[in-house]
Structure 1
Amino acid sequence: MPGKSLLCIILAFATLIPAAVGAPSKSAPVRIVKPLAPTVAQEEAGVHIREFLLDRHYRKVSPNDSLSVEIFNRYIDILDGRRSYFIAGEVDSLRQLYGNRLDDEFLAGKADAGFAIYNFFVRRAGEKVLFMKNTANTVKFNFTVPDTLDLDRKTDPWPGDRKQLTDLWTKELKYQWLDLKSSGKRERSIRAELVKNLTGRHNLLNRQKPEDAFHAYMTAVTTSFDPHTSYFSHDEFENFQIGLSRSLEGIGARLQSENDYIVVNEVIPGGPAFKSRILKKGDKIIGVGQGKTSEIIDITGWRINDAVGLIRGKKGSIVRLKVLPSSQAGRGAAKIIQLVRDKINLEEEAASKEVIRINGRKIGIIAIPSFYLDFTAQKNKEGNFNSTSRDVLRILGELNAEGVDGIVLDLRDNGGGSLEEAVNVTGLFIPQGPVVQISSSSGRTVVLGDKDVRVLYGGPLAVLVNRYSASASEIVAAAIQDYGRGVIIGERTFGKGTVQSLVNLPDPSVSTSGSSGLGEIKLTMAKFYRISGGSTQHKGVEPDIFMPSMIDTATIGEDTYTSSLPWTTISPSMYQITGEITPETVEFLRQKERDRSSGNLQYQDYLRDLATLDRIRKKKGIVLQDAAFKSEAEEIKKIEKKWGTDREAPKSSLNDVLLTESASVVVDLEERAR
């Protein structure tokens, strides 16, 4: 029902629904003088977004009621993923009005319904903030009584009434209080800090702009097609470009907004965060402080651009981040991380080597943090441009000269990069042949491969991966596995097997070529497939020998996204298996590893600690009592410090354990080949 009639219903609904579902009759706590409405430019952008999604996205979606329901559910989850703003009746009312109508607006390039829902959300968010602020100002909590808060409420029902909702708000406030208390703060300072933080969030709600509503709604629209398709406004795209150029003076991390949090989406190799080994993908940044001593400002609920502006800074300056680590699954006290801002150091990003000795054998370790390539220098035919394959080629020459008995290719935490370099690196270890297949949205399949018949290293080989190994890393691991060229060690990889392209939204009001006045859309347009025919999408690459990391695999990976493209197959490429890693060889290596690791006291100690950490992660609720909260937080801190994932650890002992085990597998492989 497009046109004026729908707009009238929307505006009426934005005003009337609070009373209809039992909201307080008092004046709204957030002063929306004029309801947010889409701008002319945003309506123009909506038309282009619709065209690109329907015409060029890899997933072909019919714009019908099913899409409408998908967008609605996703939008409500974006606004209230923790089920702590709306009550069940309100969600039902919203669904009845909009559940089957958003596809009509999508086809018309409109976002009026999205804005109406967002205006209602802002009012509810304001009520929550004021309630928590008043409670923090007046209530004295009793932390000896049994009380539990569910940290993961994505699958929980919405509260049934206002009392259940305010009870939930009270528990959330108690959790925040306990977190501050665990850091050593006393009641007076805790109360003052909470009130100040909540006041800041309330002020932020009073400063909402049309772009806030449009971005939230467009996120629901684009991610209904797949999780890696997204819309960037002009300002957001400028920040994205800075991240791509890797010239930013800051912490070296790409950030995104997720519900009320600023979340680390990528740690850029060569940056301060990467070198610190502290900040990880999935970590939530909830506070930022400048220098060593200034107060930390709460950034919960901030716009991504405002948060990036606070975190970014001059080279050499200090920034302190208050972080909820992803490894803790939201449990334990927040950490304070201190980083010195700097430019990305390409030498830190480059592939590196070390040699370790196992049972008299020399095993070379080649660590590749990303697949990098200086495209500009390559295009200009400069003689010595940065390239992963060039660096690995040099390292292989050095290791061959040292007479190593085997090599471990370490792709842990490698989130991808240049596809060309992934193909070229694979080619160093295999004869001539295909490496990856790419299927476009048109159905056309292109095969990329190694055209050099030379094998620069033909000895025993292992590839070490973890859950953060994604995209180009998965292509390398999958090809090595399909050829039978090497053994894959670690845990199942991320599962990102899709290809995105940035598309400019044309703005007829701006004549400048290449202008992003209406923003850009990052569009999924193709899919990676292994040469054996299966996609790396969703499933990732399964290791031959499983060695777990401390990553919380329940929260990291393509399979954690509800709209991720499915695993599918196409016809395999023509390639010749080398025969070095047969099923019999894999079983032999597994048995050797089981026998060896069962007698490795340090490794068994690690597995026990990991089991403890997993048990804590899987607990749905957290006990809001002093003793229980402190005990659980201390247990997590002890484990992370012990295995080198805490900033106080002088050395990554976990890294030593996993590299030693991986090198031992290569020794087993070398001995079997004799």
Structure 2
Amino acid sequence: MRKLTKNLTLLLATAITLFAASFSYSTTSEILAPEKQHDRATKLITHFLDKYHYKKFTIDNSLSDEILGAYIEALDPNRSYFYQKDIDSFQIFRFKLDDAISKTELSPPFQMFRLYQARVEERVLFALDQLKTKYDFKVDEELIIDRSELSWATGNHELNEIWRKRVKNDVLTLRLADKKPSEIKETLEKRYKGIAKRSEQIDAEDVYQLFINAFASTLEPHTNYLSPRTSENFEIRMSLSLEGIGALLRTDGEYTVVEKVIPGGPADLSDLLHGSDRIVGIAQQNDKEFKDVVGWRLEEVVQLIRGSKGTDVKLQILPGDEGQAAKITEIKITRDKIKLEEQAAKSEVIKIEDNLQNYKIGVIDVPTFYIDFAAYQRGEKDYRSTTRDVDKLLADLKSEKIDALVLDLRSNGGGSLTEATQLMGLFIDEGPIVQVQDSSGHIEVHRDRDSNISYHGPLVVLVDRFSASASEIVASAIQDYHRGIVVGETTFGKGTVQQLVDLNNFSSKDDAKLGQLKATIAQYFRVDGGSTQHQGVIPDIDFKTILKGEEYGERALKNALPASSIAPVKHHIGDIDAQIINQTSEMHSSRVKMNDKFNSLLEIFQLDYDVRNQKAVSLLESSRKEEYKRVETTRSEYQEMLKDMEENLNKLDDDEEFIDVLLDETAHIATDLTKLLKAKNSSSFVYRNH
């Protein structure tokens, strides 16, 4: 959640007077004020959060102070519009925003927002005027991209300098994309005027949603409010026959950023769009010109991307792996439905030669925990689900006489809790899988009640930083049951449960439009009583692909609920003890020291990390060109190195850049585990109580 700002009535009146004369100030912004339905919505929201939210809280002066900070940050996250004097003026509301929530006295956040609009219009006027400037790109200076931790500008000269460099960077970025001066001016004029226009179009519903979400963000990051318009847009996107590209998008400042590419969707299958890419332009398949979408509302961007199945959408993106100084890249993706079969679990067999002996390692990739609810509700016997599909894949792999199994849960963001529970049941006898504690302290234990075991053999689970929620439940249960070894990266750390409440169901008026509330109502706990929340699942063998100082997942979110613990529940355990884990870990460490492929991949990760975490970009044209070339050349060299070092070229498809080094190493770990268990004369799962 971002945060928002406050305002002094006298200062606000002065600001409006100043800017109304020089800018066609919208009459809508002058009358922005809370509406009648906001009073009812606020009462319902506070009631549900107080009664059912997992985190206990008190609406008091202390929380008011936090809400103020959250509201300011939501309005101006990069500290590019407000002055320090504005922030100082907002302090009169420091201990009044709790009343805005508990007593529905909502005028303060609306006063604050009106000043924000005035500041936006002021900056747009300055930016438009800067387009008349002929910039010298031989001057060695830089633009600080991330200003979120810097001081607020103290005066007009300081803020003008920030925006002078911003406009210069916008011009340089388009110049490096081979745009003509006339095209650059036209594009940026539309962009800056669009920012002002969208600021003017913000209505009371938008301001209310922004403020309530500032409040919600002080509780924890997964609780938020959806205004009636946001709720309706969501429902329309879910029900229309129009198709998309299969990507979750979010707003970051004035950019639309790819949050996640959906497995099996057009974007995923194209391999052209990736997480953290910024979308700056959109064109339909027959359009010659792109629409610049910097500063657009998220729903407007989504509307342009969606369209009829089989049609193309062209995107201009700033690739995330090129950092803040990224060069504009044009891609084309064909719209389609995200087919269940593309998201379904898949299997393969990796052959490993070790000490002149051959091993077959089965791999099952589970992108998400899914179930075809429609087919299930129709009573179809052969409905698709994760557990059913994996069970069939296991039967196929066993017929190929595999020596061990790798369960690949990388980038699996979760899904059906029931499916996660049942999937775990394929590898153990009946027993508890996960505990769920609600806000009242009541604990429900979700169990596998099927005593059949589909696979008894050596098992390795591969996870990464994007493995979350239901996938963390499976990985943690594998550890708690001593059923297998978990390898890779520490997982995301989302161990909470959310519920969506339609506030309209609690309104006495049939035509009331109050929106929806998504609230965190419970937390997952492991069988051993520990928590995946915040800390994630820590792998038994860490691939050390997370770089020092790198923050991700729940740990990078403000106000994320901390890890906690409850009492464990009794369960059987297998034969994967500390000795076997230590031995397997030592064998892994010895092998990767001599593995050029693995170490080259780590160097690519380091390069990506350095590029993505740039705090400033050079405005020296020659320096930017050199940086583009350096990053592109270095990444290409590493990829070619990995490709050249692949011993079995048959593993590579014609369009594949290099092998999955991490999966390859996981297969070797599975081989090590197989040998150790064989030497111990043991299966990896036996019946012992714990």
Partner Cα distance (2:280, 2:306) in 1:
15
Residue of 42, 47, 62 corresponding to 2:43: 47
Residue of 370, 373, 377 corresponding to 1:372: 370
Match of residue 431 from structure 1: 429
Further displaced range: 426-435 or 268-277? 268-277
Q: Secondary structure at the match of 1:488?
A: strand
Shift in CA distance, 252/664, structure 1 to aligned 2, threshold 3 Å: same
1:101 correspondence with 2:99: no
Q: Does the CA-based 8 Å contact 2:194-2:295 persist in structure 1? A: no
Amino acid paired to 1:131: F
Shift of 1:623: 1.9
Match of residue 469 from structure 1: 467
Shift of 1:162: 1.6
Match of residue 530 from structure 2: 534
1:626 correspondence with 2:621: yes
Output aligned runs, 1:628-643, within 5 Å.
Answer: 628-638=623-633
Shift of 1:377: 3.0
1:210 correspondence with 2:204: yes
Residue of 476, 479, 501 corresponding to 1:478: 476
Partner Cα distance (2:267, 2:590) in 1:
37
Match of residue 523 from structure 1: 519
Amino acid paired to 2:342: E
Shift in CA distance, 100/243, structure 1 to aligned 2, threshold 3 Å: same
Q: Does the CA-based 8 Å contact 2:427-2:453 persist in structure 1? A: yes
Output aligned runs, 1:386-401, within 5 Å.
Answer: 386-401=384-399
Match of residue 559 from structure 2: 563
Q: Secondary structure at the match of 1:249?
A: coil
Output aligned runs, 1:116-195, within 5 Å.
Answer: 116-136=111-131, 138-195=132-189
Q: Secondary structure at the match of 1:527?
A: strand
Match of residue 198 from structure 1: 192
Residue of 562, 571, 577 corresponding to 1:575: 571
Amino acid paired to 1:663: A
Residue of 294, 297, 303 corresponding to 1:300: 294
Shift of 1:352: 0.7
Shift of 1:25: 9.4
Q: Secondary structure at the match of 2:394?
A: helix
Further displaced range: 99-108 or 242-251? 242-251
Q: Secondary structure at the match of 1:506?
A: helix
Further displaced range: 437-446 or 602-611? 602-611
Unaligned runs of 5+ in 1: 1-9
Shift in CA distance, 493/508, structure 1 to aligned 2, threshold 3 Å: closer
Shift of 1:113: 1.5
Output aligned runs, 1:253-292, within 5 Å.
Answer: 253-291=247-285
Q: Using structure 1 for the length normalisation, give the TM-score.
A: 0.91
Match of residue 7 from structure 1: none
- Report Cα offsets for 1:560-613 as digits up to 9, x if no partner: 111211111111221232122x22222222222222222222222222232233
Further displaced range: 316-325 or 51-60? 316-325
Q: Does the CA-based 8 Å contact 1:539-1:559 persist in structure 2? A: yes
Match of residue 602 from structure 1: 597
Shift of 1:278: 3.7
- Report Cα offsets for 1:215-255 as digits up to 9, x if no partner: 22122122221111111123322343456679751112233
Partner Cα distance (1:552, 1:652) in 2:
30
Over the matched positions of the two proteins, sequence identity in percent amounts to 38
1:666 correspondence with 2:670: yes
Further displaced range: 175-184 or 365-374? 175-184
Shift of 1:411: 1.0
1:317 correspondence with 2:306: no
Number of equivalent positions? 657
Partner Cα distance (2:368, 2:7) in 1:
52
1:352 correspondence with 2:346: yes
Q: Does the CA-based 8 Å contact 1:68-1:100 persist in structure 2? A: yes
Partner Cα distance (2:638, 2:50) in 1:
48
Unaligned runs of 5+ in 2: 641-652, 679-690
Shift of 1:199: 2.1
Shift in CA distance, 552/144, structure 1 to aligned 2, threshold 3 Å: farther
Further displaced range: 264-273 or 469-478? 264-273
Partner Cα distance (2:257, 2:512) in 1:
25
Output aligned runs, 1:503-514, within 5 Å.
Answer: 503-506=501-504
- Report Cα offsets for 1:631-672 as digits up to 9, x if no partner: 223333445566779xxx964545521221111111111122
Shift in CA distance, 438/324, structure 1 to aligned 2, threshold 3 Å: farther
Q: Does the CA-based 8 Å contact 1:246-1:344 persist in structure 2? A: no
Shift of 1:322: 2.8
- Report Cα offsets for 1:29-59 as digits up to 9, x if no partner: 6434533112222332222122222221111
Amino acid paired to 1:502: L
Amino acid paired to 2:274: K
Shift in CA distance, 227/456, structure 1 to aligned 2, threshold 3 Å: same
Q: Does the CA-based 8 Å contact 2:424-2:433 persist in structure 1? A: yes
Shift in CA distance, 293/599, structure 1 to aligned 2, threshold 3 Å: farther
Q: Secondary structure at the match of 1:219?
A: helix
Amino acid paired to 1:249: E
Output aligned runs, 1:227-238, within 5 Å.
Answer: 227-238=221-232
Shift of 1:296: 2.0
Shift of 1:356: 1.5
Shift of 1:320: 1.9
Shift of 1:189: 2.4
Partner Cα distance (1:59, 1:508) in 2:
23
Partner Cα distance (1:354, 1:550) in 2:
27
Match of residue 78 from structure 2: 82
Partner Cα distance (1:36, 1:496) in 2:
37
Shift of 1:175: 2.0
Further displaced range: 120-129 or 185-194? 185-194
Shift of 1:121: 0.9
Shift in CA distance, 139/70, structure 1 to aligned 2, threshold 3 Å: same
Match of residue 8 from structure 2: 13
Q: Does the CA-based 8 Å contact 1:37-1:112 persist in structure 2? A: yes
Shift of 1:502: 0.7
Match of residue 383 from structure 1: 381
Partner Cα distance (1:197, 1:243) in 2:
26
Amino acid paired to 2:290: I
Shift in CA distance, 328/242, structure 1 to aligned 2, threshold 3 Å: farther
Shift of 1:172: 1.4
Further displaced range: 242-251 or 108-117? 242-251
Partner Cα distance (1:169, 1:595) in 2:
53
Shift of 1:119: 1.3
Q: Secondary structure at the match of 2:429?
A: coil
Q: Secondary structure at the match of 1:538?
A: coil
Partner Cα distance (1:122, 1:571) in 2:
52
Partner Cα distance (1:379, 1:572) in 2:
35
Partner Cα distance (2:390, 2:135) in 1:
59
Shift in CA distance, 642/466, structure 1 to aligned 2, threshold 3 Å: farther
Q: Does the CA-based 8 Å contact 1:263-1:284 persist in structure 2? A: yes
